[in-house]
Amino acid sequence: MSKYPQHDKLEPLQEQSQTCGEFIQWMRDKKGWFLAAYAEKTEECQNCGHKNAHLREAQTGFRCASCTCADYFVGDRIYEAPVNLNKVLAEFFGIEYDELQAEKDRMLVDMRKAQGLTATGGRKE
């Protein structure tokens, strides 16, 4: 078994995954379209979870006064889904994203060891 099984699964899918990611980015950048989620009627911010005491009225609904991101509203509405595109693509292609990231870290340590460096990149004495 390979030391990096998630990378082994990703390798034959790399081109497809790259194309999908580029398409989604193109939709956002060129068309202004985005991945969305539907917020059911709620008194809670979709971003931070603050309750109605922290809300201020905005033109299209109520906006959380505590959030730094102006994209999150409460109430019945569609909003831009706060997703990590790499995680979504990994899930779609059956890749364990967190394990993939851990494998990358292990690869870096292994490469440094092979070059006679410490795990943080310094020279061994």
Q: Are residues 87 and 28 in the same domain?
A: yes
Domain boundary among 47, 65, 81: 81
For residue range 47-66, list pLDDT tens digits in order. Answer: 666 665 344 444 445 555 66
Q: Are residues 109 and 89 in the same domain?
A: yes
Instruction: Check pLDDT > 80 for residue 36.
Output: yes
Q: Are residues 119 and 87 in the same domain?
A: yes
Q: Are residues 45 and 74 in the same domain?
A: yes
Domain boundary among 81, 98, 115: 81
How many domains, in total, are found in the chain?
Answer: 2
User: Which residue range forms the structural domain that includes residue 16?
Assistant: 1-32+83-125
Q: How confident is the model at residue 97 (pLDDT cuts 50, 70, 90)?
A: very high
Per-residue three-class SS string for 2-69: CCCHHHHHHHHHHHHHHHHHHHHHHHHHHHCCCCEEEECCCCCCCCCCCCHHHEEEECCEEEECCCCC
Residue type, 46: Q
Q: Name the pTM for this structure.
A: 0.63
